[in-house]
Amino acid sequence: MSSLYDFVKRHRRKLAVGGVALGGAAIAFTLLDRHISQVRDDERKKQLEIVRKRNHFESTDAAINTTFIQVFNQLRDRIAEIHDTTTLKEALRQNPDKEEKLRLWNEIKNLCFSNAVCYVIAEAFIGVLLRIQLNILAGYIYSDNKAGINNNSESRFSSKFQHAFLNISNFFIKEGVKEFSDTALLNVKSCVAFIQLQDEIGLDNVENIFTQIQDRILSDFPERNLVLNPGRFLLSTTESLPTDMSEREKELYKEAISETLEILESQEILNLLTRACRRGFSLLIDKLADPFIDTDSQSDSSDQQQNILNPDINEFVSPCRVRLPLVKFLPELSSVTDESEQDGQREEWLTCLLDSPDLKSLGANVYESFSTSSPGGAGQNTLGDQAWQMFSSIKSKFTSNFS
């Protein structure tokens, strides 16, 4: 016993230092283990949040596609209703005098071109609008639900708010597209006024006309421009917000509308719409090529009295070289936007907008921007600032996928 005491007495400093070292190592190991556990737990939560967010976005994207198919058909029917030529055709059947007949044919000409132009541009616009609008709303709801989980609070986005916010798309279909059609018709008249009914035109002429009209519509008349002033076509000047909406919901609604219009008015959206419309008109030209391929419909001009494949010289005659009198071309132009779903196949223009990489990228970036924080959060940047920062960082992503 005395020897043990003497040993401890002789090495007491070493034992003390060793005990402190062992204790420190034990504490450090415990803290490190807790830190590693915390990091792993945070990483699991982060991965779970990523999966939850991805699932929410994918379900939103699927809902957008389903909604857009319905809206596309509604808007197409509305455009056809606005540009209906039945009354004019009935008047022609009454065998009016030559001057009146010429006036009626010119009206039909203007309406046919305007119908095709509105079909492409308005459908592209509603596709962009729905992507922006529904992803903003989904981002709002996601960030609000996330904050609600943490704070055990109720969602601030009631069904009344959602209905009022989404109603701007319905307003465009019911009212806004009519005003847009009036603007389009003005541009059409100025672009096709020089083409007489007996003039022969080809696909290249039709393509040039569509390009000229598109450029005018997307650049002229700033106060009546669908991109430069979209609020004119999306918001009613007479209807007010539902009276049963709270003041807080009204403020959120105004902010959501402001953010939507701010994005729609951006140069990036104008560029995107321009590319989309070019693609849409290309598809339209492809559909209009049929009468130029049909040998029975070819012009009687001296250089086109042969079949597409001339049996004498075995030379292929390109449809681009075929010319048709405008009066024979108008019926084809009039029917090109008719419902064409056959055997369960969607319209090419609808499929193009649904599968557009530009629109998918736009929706993903809008959702990511607006799902990071709730609107009106104290001490945070406004969602408008976040949206503009997002668009500044993705300018390079908007490549010409439609070309």
Helices (H), 152-202: 159-171, 177-192
Assigned domain for 372 exists? yes
In a domain, 387, yes or no: yes
Does 56 reside within a domain? no
Which pair of structure tokens corresponds to residue 158? Answer: 């009631």
* pLDDT value, residue 158: 78
Residue 155 lies inside a defined structural domain of this protein: yes
pLDDT at residue 6 in the model: 65
Q: What are phi and psi of 11, to 5 degrees?
A: -110, 25
Residue 395: what pLDDT? 36
- Answer yes or no: is 345 within a domain: yes
Domain of residue 160, residue span: 64-397
Is residue 38 in a domain? no
pLDDT value, residue 115? 94
Radius of gyration of the chain (CA): 32
Residue 32 inside a domain? The answer is no
Query: Per residue in 74-124, pLDDT tens?
Result: 999 999 999 999 999 899 888 888 899 999 999 999 999 999 999 999 999
pLDDT (0 to 100) of residue 227? 86
Residue 4 within any structural domain of the chain: no
pLDDT at 78: 94
Alpha helices in 83-153, H assignment, sequence order: 86-93, 98-151
**Per-residue pLDDT, 155:** 65
What are the distances in angstroms from CA 253 to CA 142, 356, 377? 17, 29, 15
Task: Note the pLDDT of residue 373.
Answer: 57
What is the distance between the alpha carbons of residues 279 and 353, in angstroms, rounded to a whole number?
10
Q: Measure the CA–CA gap between 215 and 270, rounded to whole angstroms.
A: 11
pLDDT less than 50: residues of the chain: 295-314, 343, 377-403
Nearest 10 degrees: Cα torsion 240, 246, 252, 255 = 30
Q: How many domains does the chain have?
A: 1
How far apart CA 367 and CA 333 sit, in angstroms, is 38
